[in-house]
């Protein structure tokens, strides 16, 4: 049998601890959207890193948090399910924040899992002083018995990312094969990638004004050898939010369209025709049918 190691790695943690940034850094491509807002990731997004001796299939999960509505409950259950049937769990905790109740909840769940390898990653090491980093590491050492390894990292400064990869590979079984083609970097369909690019552009452009009451529906998608034609709807919960996204004289929606089109073009390396519409669907985050329609289908992830 070829000495190829391959397996599945779940990245978990509470919101805004750097899970998506780490995934994108490891894969070397933008797989998961990154903003400075908590709860940006809504699905378990697979990123795939393939080298000659190994293939790592990462699952970037939504941040585990106190649920307030149906979409929150979906995100939490999606994240918790990701810890089943994987080979390694990477639990991320930022160096610049205190250990909170969501961290303790995840730690409790991890302490029950004796059949998988667990790595604690103390992230964002570049944003605190060495003294504070030492204190944070000492604080987390209280829970060292839960973990097989503790690694301090920074995705932006590339601190210990190679060490993390090496540690993960060491924990994986020798399968002798890859699970995905060597050229694959994600298993998400094109429609999903397009939706996430548009949603990121909205989150970045709308600031704190429309944080998480936004969803994207790809209404039409036609792809030829040379171009992609897309019609998509930006769904908000209130009429006032629609006005915010459109902006004065349509400037904000034009910027969102420009940025989305540019990223889609870079991703697919084709010409892109993109039409965007803003629609109001009151209280969509509590509607199970609407959540499923928007791609957050618990049976898929």
Known binding residue 126? Answer is yes
138 has binding-site annotation: no
The answer to the question of whether 62 is labelled as a binding residue is yes
Question: Has 173 been labeled as part of a binding site?
Answer: no
- Residue 81 in tokens: 């399910």
Contacts of residue 240, Cβ cutoff 8 Å, sequence gap at least 6: none
Pair of tokens at residue 32: 């998961």
124 annotated as ligand-binding: yes
**6 with 178: CB under 8 angstroms?**
yes
Is 16 annotated as a binding-site member? yes
Pairing of strands 88-94, 54-60: unpaired
Q: Extract the tokens encoding 279.
A: 């629609």
Please tell me the distance from the alpha carbon of residue 47 to that of residue 56, in angstroms, as a whole number: 8
- Give the single-character DSSP code of 234: E
Q: Is 250 annotated for ligand binding?
A: no
15 in a known ligand binding site: yes
Q: Is 189 annotated as a binding residue?
A: no
CA-based nearest residue to 46, from 27, 73, 28: 27
What are the φ and ψ backbone dihedral angles of 190, each rounded to 5 degrees?
-55, -40
Residue 260 is labelled as binding a ligand: no
Q: Is 14 annotated as a binding residue?
A: yes
94 annotated as ligand-binding: no
Which residues define the annotated binding site? 13-20, 60-64, 123-126
Which residues define the annotated binding site for GTP? 13-20, 60-64, 123-126
């Amino acid at each position: 049998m070829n000495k190829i190691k391959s397996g599945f790695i779940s990245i978990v943690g509470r919101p805004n601890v750097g899970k998506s940034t780490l995934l994108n850094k490891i894969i070397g491509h933008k797989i998961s959207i990154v903003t400075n807002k908590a709860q940006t990731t809504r699905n378990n997004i697979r990123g795939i890193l393939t080298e000659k001796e190994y293939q790592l299939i990462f699952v970037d999960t939504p941040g585990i948090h106190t649920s307030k509505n149906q979409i929150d409950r979906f995100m939490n259950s999606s994240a918790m399910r990701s810890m089943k049937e994987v080979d390694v769990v990477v639990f991320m905790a930022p160096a610049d924040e205190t250990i909170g109740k969501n961290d303790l909840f995840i730690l409790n769940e991890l302490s029950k899992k004796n059949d998988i390898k667990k790595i604690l990653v103390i992230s964002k090491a570049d944003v605190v002083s060495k003294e504070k980093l030492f204190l944070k590491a000492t604080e987390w050492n209280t829970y060292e018995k839960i973990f097989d390894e503790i690694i301090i990292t920074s995705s932006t400064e590339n601190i210990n990312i190679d060490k993390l990869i090496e540690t993960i590979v060491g924990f994986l079984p020798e399968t002798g094969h890859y699970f995905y083609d060597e050229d694959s970097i994600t298993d998400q369909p094109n429609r999903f990638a397009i939706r996430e690019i548009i949603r990121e552009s909205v989150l970045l452009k709308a600031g704190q004004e429309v944080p998480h009451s936004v969803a994207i529906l790809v209404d039409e998608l036609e792809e030829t050898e040379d171009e992609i034609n897309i019609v998509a709807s930006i769904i908000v919960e209130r009429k006032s939010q629609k006005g915010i996204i459109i902006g004065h004289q349509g400037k904000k929606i034009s910027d969102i369209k420009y940025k989305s089109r540019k990223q889609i073009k870079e991703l697919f390396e084709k010409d892109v025709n993109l039409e965007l519409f803003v629609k109001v669907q009151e209280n969509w985050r509590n509607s199970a049918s609407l959540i499923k329609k928007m791609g957050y289908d618990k049976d898929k992830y």
